[in-house]
Copies of this chain bind each other. A is one copy, B any other.
Amino acid sequence: MVFLFTGSTMALSALDFLLASKKSEITGLQQLLQMGKLVGAISQLVHVLQRERGTANIYLCSQGKMWGDRLYGRALKVQQAEQIVHQQLAELDPMNSGLSNASRLFSRIAAFLHSLSTLPLLRKQVQELTIGQPEAMLQYCEAIRTHLALIFEAADASCDPLISRSLLAMFSFMQGKELAGQERALGAAGFAACHFTDRTHQQLLDLIDGQERCFQTFFEFADARCVALWQRQLAHDSSEFERLRRIACTLVTPIGQPQELALRWFELATTRIDGMKQVEERLETILMACCRQRILDAETSRLRQEKEMVLIPPHDNHYPALIPPQLSRSILELVQQQSRQLQAQDAELANLRSTLAERKLVERAKGLLMQHHAMTEPQAHKALREMAMKQNKKLVEIAEAIISVAAVLGKTSL
């Protein structure tokens, strides 16, 4: 019967889509590499912004007596870091981007850029002492939170489990470092004013607690080399810093010369934070190396694929040709090879994605609490945890409840 061997033209074959699949995999990895560069640039920006915040705190709490001369240099460093971020952002080519999930990422970048644009006014107010320390601190923290949210979104957009893990480790570590930065700023303010309130004591304790929590997540997802580096640093934490920590967390009026204590505290806390920056840089190096290796692997695999395709004897591309069984098996082997490779990542990616999704909801609920109930990040986290314990529910369930209540009240926001 002849009918079986005539028919329509087969425009695109299985092999065409195999090549397209591999090409798309490589494009995705290249985009992740670009994202990795952006994350590195933001990590640097956050670092110098944290230092500017600490300096501004000391300046404000000493009624402009201390570190007025340092403000300029700090702001300059931030502007330099901003410039590098801008270069990376321009390379994303937003209007012609093939990035997946890009609408969420771009929306985050818009929020990030807006937060940067509020800094000049803040600096002017700090400079002129027309803003209080708590309010200035709040604005710096809010800006940094917007920066970190961008990194979290990048982790969520990744389709590679290994790279998602790296990004999640990086986000958690940066979050921990940010809490350390807040601790430095709050402590510096207290020492400079020579006064700690009960509220400040509790805030400091919460910040220390929060750092532990973030580093736990880091331990869970980070590369073993980064974990080792951080553990070595933890082993060398200075006892002097711990002593000042204890003073800041327990005394109302520290004994000693305010200026000296503030400077010493800031110096020690900065050494510690600079150590964290090293870990962060290591995390970034490994992230980039991981991206580059994955691209190389995918390229090698594409070359092998193309080579094997050449071995497939030319056959009629018109459907429905009766493809010889042997040829059909060769094609099937190639199809299954690609499929196996992608599916090997699926289970892990699925687990990571649900981890990320839960964290995203918790972060958002915390953000709402911070915004509408004037809480700090650790306070918001504590509040969530307590609600969860009381109601015997999971943290993420409480977070979902808070988000839906806020949605009903029209209070949803960044």
- A residues near B, CB below 8 A? 1, 3-5, 7-25, 28, 72, 75-76, 79, 82-83, 86-87, 89-90, 94-95, 97-114, 116-121, 123-124, 127, 159, 319-323, 325, 328, 331-332, 335-336, 338-340, 342-344, 346-347, 350, 353-354, 357-358, 360-361, 364, 400, 403-404, 407, 412-414
Q: Identify A106's interface contact among B17, B121, B400, CB under 8 A.
A: B17
Consensus secondary structure, chain A interface: helix
Residues of chain B with a CB closer than 8 A to A72's CB? 1, 3
Chain B residues lying within 8 Å of A95, measured Cβ to Cβ, are: 16, 19-20, 23
A319 contacts which of B82, B328, B346 (Cβ < 8 Å)? B82
* A94 CB contact (under 8 Å) in B17, B98, B104, B342: B17
The answer to whether A364 and B343 have CB atoms under 8 Å apart is yes
Q: Contact check, A106 vs B343: say whether CB atoms are below 8 A apart.
A: no
Which of B87, B107, B121, B353 sits near A353, CB closer than 8 Å? Answer: B353
Cβ-neighbour of A25 out of B7, B103, B109, B120 (below 8 A): B103
A-B contact pairs, 9 of them (CB 8 A): A5-B120, A14-B117, A20-B97, A21-B105, A21-B107, A28-B102, A110-B338, A111-B336, A344-B412
Once the chains bind, are B335 and A111 in contact (CB under 8 Å)? Answer: yes
Q: A3-B75, A24-B99, A343-B364 are in contact. List 6 more A-B contacts (CB 8 A).
A: A3-B72, A14-B112, A100-B100, A120-B321, A353-B353, A353-B357
- For A340, the chain B residues whose CB sits under 8 A away are 412-413
Alpha-carbon distance between A13 and B23 when the two chains are bound, in angstroms: 31
Question: Which residues on B sit within 8 Å (CB–CB) of A76?
Answer: 3
* Contact of A331 with B117 at beta-carbon distance under 8 Å, contacts A18-B106, A90-B11 already known: yes
Known: A114-B14, A124-B4. A400 touches B347 (CB 8 A): yes
Given contacts A24-B103, A124-B4, contact A361 B339 (CB under 8 A): no
Cβ A339 vs Cβ B114 within 8 A: no
A340–B339 alpha-carbon span in the complex (Å): 37
Q: Pick the contact of A11: B11, B86, B127, B331 (CB < 8 A).
A: B86
Task: Identify A335's interface contact among B7, B25, B86, B110, CB under 8 A.
Answer: B110
* Complex Cα gap A5–B90 (Å): 22
Q: Once the chains bind, are B354 and A107 in contact (CB under 8 Å)?
A: no
Contacts of A127 in B (CB 8 A): 1, 4
Contact of A342 among B97, B98, B103, B112 (CB under 8 A): B103
CB-based contact B320/A102 at 8 Å: no
Which residues from B are CB-within-8-Å of A319? 79, 82, 86, 116-117
Residues of B with C-beta under 8 A to A331 = 114, 117
**Which one of A107, A112, A116 has the greatest number of beta carbons of chain B within 10 Å?**
A107
Q: Which residues of B contact A4 (CB under 8 A)?
A: 75, 120, 123-124, 127
- With A117-B328, A322-B121 already in contact, the answer to whether A361 and B346 are too (CB < 8 A) is yes
- Find the B residue at minimum CB distance from A412: B340
Across the interface, name the chain B residue whose C-beta is closest to A355. Answer: B354
Q: How far is the CA of A120 from the CA of B4 in the complex (A)?
A: 6
